[in-house]
Amino acid sequence: MVTDNIINSEYSDIMQKSYIDYAMSVIISRAIPDIRDGLKPVQRRTLYDMSELGLKSDRPYRKCARIVGDTMGKYHPHGDSSIYESLVVMSQEFKKECPLVDGHGNFGSIEGDGAAAMRYTEARLKEVTEEVFLKDLDKDTVDFVPNFDETEREPSVLPVKIPNFLINGSEGIAVGMTTSTPPHNPVEVIEAEQAYIKNRDITLDELMEYVKGPDFPTGGIITNADELKNIYETGTGRIKIRGKVETEKGKNGRINLVIKEIPYTMIGAGIGKFMSDVIDLVESKKTTDIVDVSNQSSKEGIRIVIELKKDSDPENIKNLLYSKTKLEDTFGVNMLAVCSGRPETLGLRDAISRHVSFLYDINTRKYTCLLKKEEEKAHIQEGLIRACDCIDLIIEILRGSKKRDQVLDCLVNGNTTGISFKDPASALDAAALRFSLKQAEAILDMRLSKLIGLEIAALKKDHAQTLANIKDYREKLESRDAMSKQILEDLDSIKEKLNRARLTDIGNFKTAAFEEKPVEETDVVFVMDRFGYARVIDMPTFERNKETIENDDASFRYYFTVKNTGRVGIFTNSGQLHIIRCLSLPMSKLRDKGIPVDNMSNFDSSKEHFIFVGDMDRIINNRLIFVTKKGMMKFVDGQEFNVMTKRTVSCTTLSDSDELFDIRIYDEETDRQVLLQSDAGFFLRFSLEEIPEKKKNAIGVRGMKLGADDGLEAVYYMNYADERTILYHDRQMPLTHVKLTKRDGKGTKVR
């Protein structure tokens, strides 16, 4: 009989534990690099799989699809895209200070072009990856663990001989934390590590004599050198970087600004965005000195050319680019890595210290393994040398034996039973033999050619070398100074192979200040069509085409005079006021289309429509009358909308299912009364003196009582002697025929 074992547990506790387990899995197994080898699991597994496939630097390239498929099937079952992406990034010289993969084919570009599909590209390991990352895997330097389905074994970490965490940097997003480590110059970091090995009490200031700061593959300039010490001390901070801009002589006496190095953060789509931002600066009249911008980058490197007008100030334009575009940017530093199985933020000294400890660990394991092999080798060699001295006896034993086991027993234990000897003295000599089992097996496997005099001399020479190796390995294992000397020599050898000059300059620079030239204030005409495409035209063009503009309601739905330095306010039915600067609008010809207001504000044409468009200076200096679809009304002082920082503000509060219906700038000479017309045919006329002035956030007062399904259809403003007529039910109706009453009435039904 099976009995149920029901465990009662709090649901929130189970959810908390499951979420923590998931978060730690993402942190440790996916997103954060290990401080020892500076690699994420997907990178480590990809490199190891390439090594297992034999894709060495002197071998032919292999299809990336094969590499990705093999890695995914054996070690990393998280999808092919993450594997291929890591493979691509490890091959890109503009992202990695020390690329680890030699890619063949289209592996993307610095301008953001993606790599070709994995079926088209090929790859193999770089020589430095073989020598520095994978070389000693066969010497028990690191632990091997089962893969995800326990059918293969993989290294828990690679025996990397350089501080790859600092040299190549890393970026990753885990659950609740991120890592962002900038790349550094390999020579500087290796020299800093050597200095730490020589002096464990070395200070951060002394380490920074070697590691001046990050060294980005794209070059550029770090502008806040004084803040680097705090960043390297805490492992967090913000590095300000800017591109390098040079001046060159252009055509017709012009000056060109040429960008040859970009900030590291501009890699990818950032270059296209920068070009777009420069164009926006010209269109928004931030500067009139830029004539053209072109991207002339090629295989030789980055080259973005900005042509300037004659007599322009290149330094001022350069400051404009630094202050208004991503040519000057910040790199957020958070040097987070997995240390002893847990995430930890490390400073420069801690990062180097952890890797040095790892170096001693892998070298201790390496030389322990080598010592064991050399001792076994020496043992065999000693047996063979002894065998050569009594080879006649051994041959006699072989000839007198019937089985291999008899010979082994005789060589190891001196047992001569069953072995026939020609000379009785030989039996006594054979009984005195005491070889080990391994020595005896090596003797039996020895070829007769090894008995040549030169071969015996070579064997003794090899034995002498083996004894020297044993002595050397024991010295390294027993003396920390000897081990340190060996590690320093290894680092010197690697440093020669990775020798490269620093690319990124470091200094302290003031924040770029752009002196904006004052714009000469003139009158222009704001024009917007019924679809919301806006532009400005100059006054002479407006005067010449005034009649055309007045008669074309579709293309010139809204038009009025405004200062070129002024602003335009657009009120919508949703109760929003969108403010647009005239300087952001293009100066256009009469029939040019203009720019949709959606692009210059938060206006959403799918949800809003225009109620009133006007000059903000006029709006601010007057009173406005607000009317909603449900008949709510109020006066609002225009100063309520005198805001300078926001492009969009709420201009009123609306009740449920209500919307703005009409807005008017109040004119006390003509606007003395108001006539409201409803959809159901009710008319109500009353004095505007009954409407109070409210704040913009107020709902207002009811101007007209409306039925449940009724709403306003029209609003007419008039004075006491207004003789205007309106067309209603195909007949003319004078406005004054509607009786003057009080507000908040149902009005008169007109049939």
The beta strands (E) that lie in 594-747 are given as 595-596, 610-615, 623-628, 632-637, 648-650, 660-665, 673-678, 682-687, 701-702, 712-718, 725-728, 731-734
CATH label of the domain that carries residue 666: 2.120.10.90
* Strand, coil or helix: 482: helix
Pairing of strands 101-104, 122-125: antiparallel
pLDDT at 160 exceeding the cut of 70: yes
Range of the domain at 322: 244-326
344 vs 133: CA distance, rounded Å: 23
Tokens of residue 686, six digits: 């009353």
Residues 250 and 307 in one domain: yes
Please write the tens of the pLDDT for every residue from 302-329: 999 999 988 888 888 898 999 889 999 9
403 vs 59: CA distance, rounded Å: 47
In a domain, 306, yes or no: yes
State the pLDDT at residue 456: 80
Mean pLDDT of the chain: 89
Q: How big is the chain by its Cα radius of gyration, in Å?
A: 42
Domain boundary among 160, 178, 212: 160
Please write the tens of the pLDDT for every residue from 220-243: 999 999 999 999 999 999 999 999
Cβ-in-10-Å burial (0-12, 13-18, 19+) of 485 comes to middle
Count up the domains in the chain and report the number: 4
643 vs 648: CA distance, rounded Å: 10
Please write the tens of the pLDDT for every residue from 244-273: 999 988 887 788 999 999 999 999 888 888
State the pLDDT at residue 23: 63
Domain boundary among 326, 344, 378: 326
Confidence of residue 598 (pLDDT cuts 50, 70, 90): confident
Residues 665 and 736 in one domain: yes
Q: What is the DSSP string of 205-235?
A: HHHTTT--S---TT--EE-BGGGHHHHHHHS
Please write the tens of the pLDDT for every residue from 532-583: 899 999 999 999 998 888 888 888 889 999 998 899 999 999 999 999 988 8
Residues 534 and 493 in one domain: no
Please write the tens of the pLDDT for every residue from 655-665: 988 999 999 99
Residues 389 and 276 in one domain: no
State the pLDDT at residue 453: 64
Q: Minimal CA–CA distance to 156: which of 369, 361, 370?
A: 361
Query: What is the 8-class DSSP label of residue 176?
Result: S
pLDDT at 741 exceeding the cut of 90: yes
Residues 37 and 136 in one domain: yes
Main-chain dihedrals φ then ψ at residue 450, nearest 5 degrees: -70, -10
Alpha helix (H) residue ranges in 498-638: 539-544, 546-551, 616-620
∠ CA 740-746-750 to the nearest 5 degrees? 70
State the pLDDT at residue 39: 94
Q: Minimal CA–CA distance to 74: which of 173, 5, 150?
A: 150
Confidence of residue 140 (pLDDT cuts 50, 70, 90): very high
In a domain, 463, yes or no: yes
pLDDT (average), residues 23-51: 85
Confidence of residue 332 (pLDDT cuts 50, 70, 90): very high
pLDDT at 511 exceeding the cut of 80: no
pLDDT at 450 exceeding the cut of 70: no
480 vs 475: CA distance, rounded Å: 9
AA identity, residue 165: F
Residues 139 and 256 in one domain: no
In a domain, 546, yes or no: yes
- Residue carrying the six token digits 């030169």: 454
State the pLDDT at residue 222: 95
128 vs 125: CA distance, rounded Å: 8
pLDDT (average), residues 348-357: 96
Residues 476 and 620 in one domain: no
Residue 734's CB is within 10 A of a number of other CB atoms, namely: 11
Are the C-beta atoms of 314 and 267 separated by less than 8 Å? no
Residues 649 and 558 in one domain: yes
In a domain, 224, yes or no: no
Residues 539 and 482 in one domain: no
CATH label of the domain that carries residue 108: 3.90.199.10
In a domain, 202, yes or no: no
In a domain, 464, yes or no: yes
Query: What is the 8-class DSSP label of residue 34?
Result: B
pLDDT (average), residues 581-610: 86
AA identity, residue 194: Q
State the pLDDT at residue 269: 81
State the pLDDT at residue 287: 83
In a domain, 510, yes or no: no
Residues in the chain: 751
Are the C-beta atoms of 165 and 336 separated by less than 8 Å? no
State the pLDDT at residue 29: 64
pLDDT (average), residues 386-410: 86
Determine which one of 48, 84, 120, 717 is catalytic: 120
pLDDT at 428 exceeding the cut of 90: no
191 vs 188: CA distance, rounded Å: 5
Tokens of residue 522, six digits: 């003139």
Q: Three-state secondary structure along 586-614? A: CECCCCCCCEEHHHCCCCCCCCCCEEEEE
Active-site annotation holds for 120: yes
DSSP H or E run through 468: helix 453-478
State the pLDDT at residue 454: 63
Residue 92's CB is within 10 A of a number of other CB atoms, namely: 18
pLDDT at 35 exceeding the cut of 70: yes
Which has the minimum average pLDDT: 199-203, 308-312, 334-338? 308-312
Residues 535 and 659 in one domain: yes
Main-chain dihedrals φ then ψ at residue 728, nearest 5 degrees: -135, 125
Please write the tens of the pLDDT for every residue from 69-122: 999 999 999 889 999 999 999 999 999 999 999 999 999 999 888 899 999 999
pLDDT at 513 exceeding the cut of 70: no
In a domain, 143, yes or no: yes
Domain boundary among 273, 307, 326: 326
Q: Minimal CA–CA distance to 444: which of 412, 417, 406, 404?
A: 404
Residues 471 and 537 in one domain: no
Are the C-beta atoms of 589 and 541 separated by less than 8 Å? yes
Residues 431 and 554 in one domain: no
DSSP H or E run through 21: helix 11-26
* Distances in whole angstroms, Cα of residue 81 to Cα of each of 9, 72, 379: 39, 10, 52
pLDDT (average), residues 168-191: 89
416 vs 412: CA distance, rounded Å: 11
Q: Minimal CA–CA distance to 545: which of 558, 557, 556?
A: 556
491 vs 465: CA distance, rounded Å: 25
686 vs 704: CA distance, rounded Å: 10
